[in-house]
Structure 1
Amino acid sequence: MQVVDPHIHLWDLSTHHYPWLANPQTSFVGDARELKHDYLIRDLLRDAGSVAVLKVVHVDANHDPADPVEETRWLQGIADEEGRGMPDGIVAGADLSADNAPQVLEAHAAFANTRGIRQILNVHDDPLYDYVGRHYMHEPQWRRHVALLKRYGLSFDLQLYPSQMNDAAALAREHPDTQFIVNHAGMFVDRASPTGYRAWREGMRALAACPNVAVKISGLAMFDHDWTIESFRPYVLETIDTFGCERAMFASNFPVDRLFGSYTAIWNAYARIVADASESEKDALFVRNAERIYRI
C-alpha cells in the first residue's frame, strides 16, 4: 500500500520544548506519558512497516508557544539534511490572536516546505474536552489575522468540535481564496446521544458546502480506544459521502494514534472500509488529494 500521510507529528525532547510533554497527563485522547520520547522521521518509517510512505505533512506538535518558528526551522532542516525531503509539507503553529502574528506568519512562510498554519480551536463546555478555553473565532484581532493567510499562500488546519463548525463555515466563506482543512474528521466527541451525532453530521455538511474546505480522516482512535474496522466504518463513510472523494484524505495522526493501534493496522482499516471504491477514488483518498491540497 502506498500513502501520502498528511497528518504526522515529530518531536525531539533533547533539543526542543513541548510544554504538554514536559509534564504529560492522561486525557480523553490517551496517556501522554507514553509519548514522552523522541519521535523522528526514522521512527515513523520504522512504524510504517509494509506501508510505503511516499510523502508526509507535519502538523504543529504544540511546540513552545514562545518560539513557534523554531519548530519550522528545525523541521525544514530535517527535510533538507536527510535527503528524502520529509517532512514534505509543514503546517506550522501560530497564535493568530497575538499582536505579533503578522511577523510570525511571515517568518514561517520564509521556509520552503511551509504550507499552512494550525491553531487549535477546540472549546467545549466539559473541561475534560476543552483545549483552549476561549472562542478564537469570535475575536476581532484573530479574525483580522486570518486574512493574512492569503498574503502568504498559507492554508489553515481547523481542529475544532462540531459545536464550532457553523462558525468555521462562516469563516471559510469570508476567505474563499484560503484553503481550510478539517482535522480528525471533525472530532466527533459527543457520541452519547442522537443530538451529538446530528450536530456532527450537520456541521460537517455546513463545512463541506464551502468549496475551499477539505477534511482529513484521522484521529478516530482518540475517541475509540478499542476500535475495530466496523466501529470506524460509519464515520469514515459519512465523512467521504459528505465531502466527496475529491476533498477527503486519510491520515495517521502518528504517533498519537500509536497509543491505540499500529500504523499498518490503521491504514489497513481505511483500505478495508473503502475496498469497493474505484481505483481512482482510492488513489485520491490515499495519495492524490493530500498532494494537491497541501501542494507537495
Structure 2
Amino acid sequence: MNNHNASKRGAPPHHFIDDEWLALRDEPVLDAARPIVDPHHHLWDRPHHRYLLPEILDDLNTGHHVRGTVFVECSSMYRADGDPRMASVGEVEFVNGIGAMSASGVYGPVRVAAGIVGKVDLRLGSFAQQVLEACVARAPDRFRGVRHMAAWDASPEVSSLLRPPPKDLLLDPAFREGYAGLGRMGLSFDAWMYHPQLPQLIDLIDAVPDTPVVLNHLGGRAGLGPYAGRGDEVFKAWKASIQALAERPNVSVKLGGIGMRLGGFDFHERALPPTSEELAQAWGPYVQTCIEAFGPSRAMFESNFPVDKSCCTYRVMWNTFKRMAAGFSESEKADLFAGSAVRAYSLPAELAQPAPQAAAA
C-alpha cells in the first residue's frame, strides 16, 4: 500500500482520517452485548471533513452495543448574525436538532447527542449566565454543561488548537466569575488542558468547589515537543496531578482521547493500523492509573470521534477499552462503559441498560 498519507494522519489542526488505511484492519467485536454510552464525540461540517448524523451512525453501527452519546463542543455551526457573545448558542441549536432526529427512532435505537456539552465564553463573567440560560432554553432536555478549552502550551508542537486560549485561562478572575455560574445552574464543566496545567485546574476546583468537573482525555498527558523522550518524568508529574484531582469528589475522568498525536505514540506512522491488543498495551498504564485513582464509578471510556478515528476505527477503539477493562467486575464494567457517563451527564437511566432485543439475545 502507498503510505504517503502517514504524515497527515491525525495531524492538527484537521486530524486527517485515512479511510483506506483504516480499512486494512478489522477485528471481531468483543463483548458485543455490553451497553455503551459514548460520552465524548463531535459533529461538524467543515471544508476538510464532514461528520454529521449519517457519518457517526456509520461508526456507531459497527457492532458494539452503543445506546447513547454525548456531544462535546467543537466550534460548530456558530451563529453568523446577532450578538457575537451569543454565537455559540448556534452550536447547541444545531446539535439539539440532531439529537431530536435520533430520538425519533427513524435512524435506529441509538440516541445520538442525548447529552450536549456546549461552549460558552466564561470570560464574559456575569454575562456568561445569560448565554448559559439561552443554551438551556434551546435544548432543555439535552444541554448539560460547558467546555471552555484551556489547552495552552509554549510549544507549537503541543499547542495545536486553531484558536488557542490565552495562557493561564483558568486563573483569570473573569473566567472564574463565569465558571461559578455553572454550579449555581446545576451544569457541569468539561476540562480540557495539557498535563502541566492540571495544578491550575486543581486550584480552580478548590476555589469554586460546587461545580461538577469532567476531566477530558486522561488529563492531556503530552508526549510531543519538550515532553518527548521524558516518559518517566512526565508520567510521574501527570500521575501526581491525576491522584490529586481524584481527591476532589466532584471530579470524574474520561478515559480516551489518547489516539491523538499529542500522546507521542507512533501508530499513525505505521504501514498497518494498530490492533486493539497493541493499543491496550500502549494505553493501559495511563487508563489503569486513572481508574485506580478515581474508581470505576467516576471514570468513563470515551471515543473522541472523529478526532481519534485518525488512529483506529470505532470497532477497534471499543475493543481496546474492553481489553483494558477485562479484569474488572461486572458492576465496574457497567460503570466504565455506561453508568458513570449517565450519572455525570444526568442522562436517562435506560441508556445504561441493555436494549430488550440485546438482553433477549
TM-score normalized by structure 1? 0.88
CA contact (8 A) 2:75 2:91 kept: no
Q: How many residues align?
A: 275
Q: How far 1:109 sits from its partner (Å)?
A: 1.9
1:121 match: 150
CA drift of 1:146 comes to 0.7
Check the 8 A contact 1:45/1:53 in 2, yes or no. no
Unaligned runs of 5+ in 2: 1-31, 106-110, 268-273, 348-361
- Counterparts in 2 of 1:217 and 1:169: CA distance versus 1, 3 Å: same
| 1-structure distance, mates of 2:96, 2:189 | 19
Indicate the larger mover: 270-279 or 91-100: 91-100
Question: Quick one: which amino acid aligns to residue 7 of structure 1?
Answer: H
3-state SS in 1 of match to 2:323: helix
Give the SS at the match of 1:246: helix
C-alpha distance 86-47 of structure 1, shift in aligned 2 (>3 A): closer
Match of 1:55 in 2: 68
Mapped pair 1:69 → 2:89:
yes
| Structure 1 position 135, deviation (Å) | 1.3
Two-structure CA RMSD over aligned residues (Å): 1.7
The superposition leaves residues 108-156 of structure 1 with CA deviations (integer Å, 9 ceiling, x where unpaired) of 1222210010011012121222232321111111111111002221100
Cα 1:53–1:47 change in 2 (3 A) is: same
SS in 2 for 1:153: coil
Question: Which of 316, 320, 324 in structure 2 is aligned with 1:265?
Answer: 316
Asked if the contact 1:162–1:188 (Cα under 8 Å) also holds between the matched residues in 2, the reply is yes
Q: Is the 8 A contact 1:109 1:152 kept in 2?
A: no
Match of 2:89, as an amino acid?
V
97-106 or 270-279: bigger deviation: 97-106
Once the two structures are superposed, the pairs formed by residues 107-146 of structure 1 within 5 Å of their partners are: 107-110=134-137, 111-112=139-140, 113-130=142-159, 131-146=164-179
Cα distance, 1:43 vs structure 2:
1.5
- Are 2:208 and 1:179 equivalent residues in the alignment? no
**Counterpart for residue 105 of structure 1:** 132
CA distance in 1: counterparts of 2:210 and 2:133, whole angstroms:
18
Instruction: Name the structure 2 match of 1:200.
Output: 238
Task: State the AA in 2 paired with 1:47.
Answer: D
Q: 1:38 aligns to what SS in structure 2? A: strand
C-alpha distance in 2, partners of 1:210/1:74? 34
8 Å Cα contact 2:171/2:204 also seen in 1: no
Q: In structure 2, what is the equivalent of residue 28 of structure 1?
A: none
Q: Give the 3 Å change call, closer, same or farther, for CA 235–11 of structure 1 in structure 2.
A: same
Letter in 2 for 1:77: G
Residues 277 and 191 of structure 1, relative CA distance in 2, 3 Å threshold? farther
Secondary structure of the residue that 2:112 maps to in structure 1?
coil
Give how far 1:218 is off: 1.1
Answer yes or no: is 1:294 the counterpart of 2:331: no
Distance 1:221 1:143 in 2: 31
In structure 2, how many angstroms separate the alpha carbons of the residues matched to 1:294 and 1:102?
Answer: 19
Shift of 1:187: 1.0
Asked whether the equivalents of residues 225 and 260 of structure 1 are also in contact (C-alpha less than 8 Å), the reply is no
In 2, Cα distance between equivalents of 1:3 and 1:169: 29
Gaps spanning 5+ residues in structure 1: where?
A: 14-21, 23-35
Paired residues for 1:193-272 under 5 Å:
193=230, 194-222=232-260, 223=263, 224-226=265-267, 228=278, 229-272=280-323
8 A contact 2:146–2:190 mirrored in 1? yes
Does the 8 A contact of 1:58 with 1:90 survive in 2?
A: yes
Q: Structure 2 residue aligned with 1:41, among 44, 53, 70?
A: 53
> Residue 125 of structure 1 aligns to which amino acid in structure 2?
A
Deviation at 1:272, TM superposition (A): 0.6
CA distance in 1, matches of 2:57, 2:288: 28
- Is 1:95 the equivalent of 2:128? no
Secondary structure of the residue that 1:290 maps to in structure 2?
A: helix
2:214 is paired with a residue of what secondary structure? strand
